[in-house]
Amino acid sequence: MFLFLTNTIKSQLGTLHLEKINYHIEKINGQEVLRIDMQKGIDPCYLAKENLEYLYIRTGPSTTDLQLSKVYDYINNRFEN
């Protein structure tokens, strides 16, 4: 299971972001649950799908596909050095 998850992350997000993602199995109320923790990134992370790349952002409790016209401003404001 961990190998599949690691390979999926590498193929969809790239190896650069893999080091920011930690996962393990926890027991909660007698059930095994996969817990995934992710550190805040300092670079944008694109999702690769069918030879295209997408940028998703967190908007409150949900995830939003960012429109191309807004990507430049988002990256400049979010990841400025």
Query: Any idea where the domains of the chain sit in the sequence?
Result: 1-40, 42-81
Pick from 69, 14, 68: nearest CA to 43:
14
Give pLDDT, residue 81: 56
DSSP designation for 45: -
State whether residue 1 is helix, strand or coil.
Answer: coil
What is residue 7's predicted lDDT score, i.e. its pLDDT? 92
Rounded Cα distance, 17 and 19, in Å: 6
Residues in the chain where the model's pLDDT stays below 50: none
pTM, entire model: 0.61
DSSP 6: H
